[in-house]
Every structure is written in structure tokens, then in C-alpha cells.
Amino acid sequence: MRIKVCGVTRPQDARLAAKLGAWAVGMIFVPNTPRYLTPPQARRVRAAIPKGVLAVGVFRHVSADELRRVVNELHLDAVQIYGSVPRGIGVKVIQAVTLNARPLRGKMVLIEPARSDADRRAGRGPSLKAQRAAWDMARSWRTTGARVILAGGLTPDSAGPAFRLAHPWALDVSSGVESRPGIKSARLLSAFFRAAGA
């Protein structure tokens, strides 16, 4: 099972995620969010992501120029984008989609439950009802050829059921393995990888 550990703010968490077998490590470049990285923080985290693990930058409604600047400066392997995707980025793209989106055939997409702006700013996960709606969507997209990455409030307790019920291409975890926003718990992170069968 591929696992992307997102919202990483510390080098030691990036190293632990890689050691546990993470497919990708996500760094958030969305201002005014709990896991936002300043340029110096981002450089330290990026340096801790080993070769063979995708270094992913997460962006929301970003300009093409700013996106290319960060990609080039940090040598990112992929970007995860909320909003329109600029052309000619030169790296892999994970397109975040809404729950009413049409299937993006053959694309790498992130499906996560709907959350209020307040919950998003506070780094809180979605409701169980919203999670189940995302799982249903991920399952329905399996036949489209889209590589679905399922996200949104996943925890060690929900990792196994999410995988069994939705059969995504990958799982994305952030708040569900933290002791506080941006600080990963080694115990919870290890438990998540065990629960997902990684």
C-alpha cells in the first residue's frame, strides 16, 4: 500500500516516514494553515527526504510563476494542487478534486472529504459522514484509470477500513498521526503503517 505522509514540518518526521516505507512526503505551502512551511523550514524538511521517496509540495490557488519557483528551488518531485493546474510545471501533478467532480481518467488525483474553512484553518479532520462520502467516490473512480489518493482525517483506526472499502491507489495521512498540528507522533505513524499493511 502506498502511503503519503503529508503536512510534515520537521526533518525527523520526514526521515521516520521514509524509514517506515512512505511512498511520498508532503510539505504544505498554503499560507495561514497550521502546517505551512517557511522557506528555511522547507529546505530542512526537503533535505531530509531521501532519494526514492517523492517530495511533494502542496499548493492552493497558486500562480504559475510561484509554483515553478518553489519546484525549482526545492527540487520537488511532484506538486499537489487545489485549484487550476498551470501548464508546463515539469513534475508529477496530484490534482485535488471536489466530491462532485467528474472522473479524471488516467490522472493522479486526491480525494478528500469536504471540510469547513474553520476546520481547515485549524487543521481538524472531517466528519465521519464526509469521510464515507469520499470513500464511496474513491471506490466509484476505480474503473476510470485514475490513480486515486484517499485523504482526509485518516487515522490508524480508519486506515484499514478505508483501504478495504475504497481500494484507493494510495492513502494520504496528516492530522491523524499527530500529537499536535504539524508534529507527527512516532507511535501513531508506526501504527498507521501497520494498519494499512505497508
Give dist(CA 102, CA 115) in Å, integer. Answer: 20
Interior/surface letters 16-44, b for 16+ CB within 10 angstroms, e for the rest: bbbebebbbbbbbbbeebbbbbeeebbee
pLDDT computed for residue 103 by the predictor: 78
**Tens of pLDDT, residues 103-138:** 788 899 999 887 656 655 565 667 777 788 888 888
Closest CA to 152 of 98, 90, 88: 98
How many domains in the chain?
1
The CATH number for 157's domain is 3.20.20.70
pLDDT computed for residue 130 by the predictor: 78
Q: What is the pTM of this model?
A: 0.91
Q: Is the pLDDT of residue 20 over 90?
A: yes
Provide the 3-class DSSP secondary structure of residue 79: strand
Residue entry with cell 526514492: 52
Residue range of the domain that includes 21: 2-195
What mean pLDDT do residues 72-84 have?
95
Q: Measured at the alpha carbon of residue 50, what is the angle toward residues 59 and 61, in degrees to the nearest 5?
A: 5
